[in-house]
Structure 1
Amino acid sequence: MLHIDTDSISKMQSRYQANFFNTVSGFKSANLIGTANQNGHTNLAIFNSVIHLGAKPPLLGFILRPTTVDRHTYENIKKTGYYTFNHVHESFIEKAHQTSAKYDRKTSEFEACGFEEEYFDRFHAPYVKESHIKLGLKFKEEHLITANDTILIIGKVLHAYLDEKLIAEDGSVDISSAGTVTISGLYEYLRTTKLKKFEYAKP
């Protein structure tokens, strides 16, 4: 078995190292984060770092890269306090990936990448109409990760929209049946297949 140590890592070419550590950690979520500024101009960007933080209250987080350049998603969240998570599905992975391109502030990725904005319940931030599972969140707090200057953004889920048939009797959501995809690294999208569901483990 190959052994990669700190000395090996220090000798890696920059892009090689980025690809290695973006994939070796395992599969990641695929979400489009929808925001709008105070004037209603929308922004849409793909993120592979959404994480579950708790269910009561329902909290989700995501990692934002250093703000050394304009981060339209971050700016909109801080100014309005609202944003949406929209699962990426097989039918539109190419368009979803395109939202990672560096569009200027005046360009909405909804229009540029071929997505339709959708609004519910007077919520300020736009949802992605094409997505099968959509969540509306309110910003709660942020934490600077000083090790690499990234930011953990934490939000509380206020709204969830999905087909009732995807929810099991115990409340579990069947994201595989919904067609939600997962990401390996930065550029590779994969289908998911349910293997087995276990009961709550006890000693």
Structure 2
Amino acid sequence: MQLHKDEIERLERSYRLNLINSISGIKPANLIGTRSSEGKDNVAIFSSVVHLGSSPAQLAFIMRPQTEIPRDTYPNIMETGFYTINHVAEAFIEKAHYTSAKLERGDSEFERMKLEKEFIADFHAPFVKESAVKIGMKHEASIPLPNGCIFVIGSVEMIVFPDYTVNELGQLNLEKYLGVGISGLNTYYGLNKLDSFPYVREDEIPDFE
């Protein structure tokens, strides 16, 4: 199949939405946890977390446009300045997926989806206890995007992960804790390590046949 821009725009709405959401390939599955200034906890699934830099350590994610009835994640981050990023694993993908439901402001997805929250080292926002890899984040900047979405940038304040998931080079093996990825809006894939290659230098490029 080959589709040009005008043909894509004429596709049936839900078909187009699913197609464009899935053509970027597998994306990371993460739960973002927040706590309001009143102490109400929220958790929601995101597939847009990206690495920005290692020194300083920064990650970012994309927040959908804030409507007249904003949900909890972004207001909580703006109120308190803190949030958590928690890797999703096979054991709780269904619970994680349903955190995308549009609950009333203040209703906790932790309670509705029976996910256990965890507070570590006095960090303000809740972590997901079931998650093997947990990242404590501090909000640094929010950049408006042309489509109305918001690019949320944060600094990494703390990391929690099992010793067995990282090698001597500091590389996490997502397969060891059955991490998952997302294609589109609602399809989940298991992750298998296929290979690992050295840092590429021009004079070390193999002769590919």
Give the TM bin, normalised by the shorter chain: over 0.9
Cα drift, residue 163 of structure 1: 0.4
Cα drift, residue 20 of structure 1: 0.4
Structure 1 runs (4+) greater than 2 angstroms displaced: none
- Residue 72 of structure 2 contacts residue 106 of structure 2 at CA under 8 Å; is this kept in 1? no
Give the aligned residue type for 2:119. Y
Using the TM superposition, name which of 9-18 and 32-41 deviates more: 9-18
Tell me if 1:99 matches 2:99.
yes
Tell me if 1:74 matches 2:112.
no
SS in 2 for 1:152: strand
TM-score for both structures, normalised by structure 2: 0.94
For 1:58 and 1:196, how far apart are their aligned partners in 2?
25
- Residue 180 of structure 2 contacts residue 189 of structure 2 at CA under 8 Å; is this kept in 1? yes
Alpha-carbon RMSD: 0.8
Tell me if 1:18 matches 2:49.
no
Tell me which residue corresponds to 1:199.
Answer: 198
For 1:112 and 1:61, how far apart are their aligned partners in 2?
27
Alignment gaps of 5+ in structure 1? none
- Percent of aligned pairs with the same residue? 44
Cα drift, residue 106 of structure 1: 2.8
Give the aligned residue type for 2:155. K
Give the aligned residue type for 2:157. L
- Residue 83 of structure 2 contacts residue 126 of structure 2 at CA under 8 Å; is this kept in 1? yes
Using the TM superposition, name which of 102-111 and 73-82 deviates more: 102-111
1:124-139 aligned at under 5 Å gives the runs 124-139=124-139
Q: Deviations over 1:130-182 (max 9, x none)?
A: 11110000000010012x11100000011100101111111111112121100
For 2:119 and 2:131, how far apart are their aligned partners in 1?
13
Cα drift, residue 9 of structure 1: 1.0
Give the aligned residue type for 1:101. A
For 1:15 and 1:40, how far apart are their aligned partners in 2?
37
Cα drift, residue 13 of structure 1: 1.4
Give the aligned residue type for 2:51. H
Cα drift, residue 71 of structure 1: 2.6
For 2:115 and 2:5, how far apart are their aligned partners in 1?
43
1:27-176 aligned at under 5 Å gives the runs 27-68=26-67, 69-146=69-146, 148-176=147-175
Tell me which residue corresponds to 1:5.
Answer: 4
TM-score for both structures, normalised by structure 1: 0.97
For 1:115 and 1:192, how far apart are their aligned partners in 2?
22
- Residue 41 of structure 2 contacts residue 106 of structure 2 at CA under 8 Å; is this kept in 1? no
